[in-house]
Structure 1
């Protein structure tokens, strides 16, 4: 078996800033739906990836950091090459051993103008992080001591909570979850989100005018077509 090669790439392919600005108008739900059913699911992290503050949002290009389990050298290397507006995407494979992220790193990231951190692994110093008002998502919370010996890799493709993340992919996060949009799909996601948002304006207007979602979405006709019976009674009536 080959040993893991430690490497730090200082640059990433950067997404179109105009597309980022358009995407910033939407939440994770709209962008997820805008990608379509298949890509949307492939790009969405699981509910294990939790926001550690309420009401925070972020969007920006991914700076990736692969950390050996129990070690967080790579996150410090990532902090060295990240630029304002970037999102740190950190992983150690998802174990809780060795906190990947804490308040000291968080304070520096905020000072540098980074957009936030998405951590597959443990974060700690949560109260202090909340006071810093810096957006953080993680799959675990643990204070366990991390080593800083490597190996480490920065700005290489990684798998984070089941989602493939390449450096420069667009990371979107809010209270609903974390979505990673490949750069090649960013325009598709934004176009889809804009269409969805416009359609929902019309749906809300219909509801305000007295229409029912059951009819707006065609569910009444659909259950008839599927042969689903609607009975004017309770389930005890069929005993």
Structure 2
């Protein structure tokens, strides 16, 4: 899939929402998109492992980590699960770790930044619920597209 968010905004500006520019690209796949699956959690990545261990079928996992900069919600082992299970990408409103390793993987990973510490494991959070950050609501089943120009959301597929 050849994704150019600027072109998608030009063509479908009335149908897309644009997230506040805050994300950095860490994955080997610099542009990605697909149907949205969501997680809402805080400093606990138990549900992230479960999600990425399941078939991704080209979806993008959108993780609302509350914007925490105190630990990483995705590391190289979880990113490898995402690659192996066919996820197009992961968008993290929080941090990742193992950035060098993730940069060599065929998966899109956008996050606020990096942090070397792992999370606690309490198995707490919600899956497949609408989440809101960056001025955008990410609703399961809608579509997200991300590249070096930004992150956009559309109620329907644009590509």
Normalised TM-score (structure 1): 0.61
Q: CA RMSD in A?
A: 2.0
| Equivalent in 169, 175, 179 of residue 142 of structure 2 | 169
Q: Secondary structure at the residue paired with 1:110? A: helix
1:50 counterpart = 2:24? yes
Q: Where in structure 1 are there 5+ consecutive unaligned residues?
A: 1-23, 191-239
Deviation track 1:95-138 (CA, whole Å, cap 9, x = no partner) reads 11221111000001101111111111001100010122322111
Higher helix share goes to which structure?
1
Structure 1 distance, partners of 2:84, 2:27, is: 19
* Partner of residue 71, structure 1: 44
Tell me which of the two structures has the higher relative contact order, counting C-alpha pairs closer than 8 angstroms and 6 or more residues apart: 2
Paired residues of 1:83 and 1:114 also in contact (CA < 8 A): yes
* Partner of residue 126, structure 1: 99
* Partner of residue 94, structure 1: 67
Distance 1:25 1:129, change over 3 A: closer
CA drift at 1:55 = 6.6
| Equivalent in 24, 34, 43 of residue 60 of structure 1 | 34
Paired residues of 1:98 and 1:147 also in contact (CA < 8 A): no
Q: Secondary structure at the residue paired with 1:100? A: strand
Structure 1 distance, partners of 2:131, 2:18, is: 15
CA drift at 1:81 = 4.2
* Partner of residue 81, structure 2: 108
Paired residues of 1:94 and 1:161 also in contact (CA < 8 A): no
Q: Secondary structure at the residue paired with 2:18? A: coil
Q: Where in structure 2 are there 5+ consecutive unaligned residues?
A: none
Paired residues of 2:39 and 2:63 also in contact (CA < 8 A): yes
Paired residues of 2:27 and 2:105 also in contact (CA < 8 A): no
Structure 2 distance, partners of 1:54, 1:87, is: 15
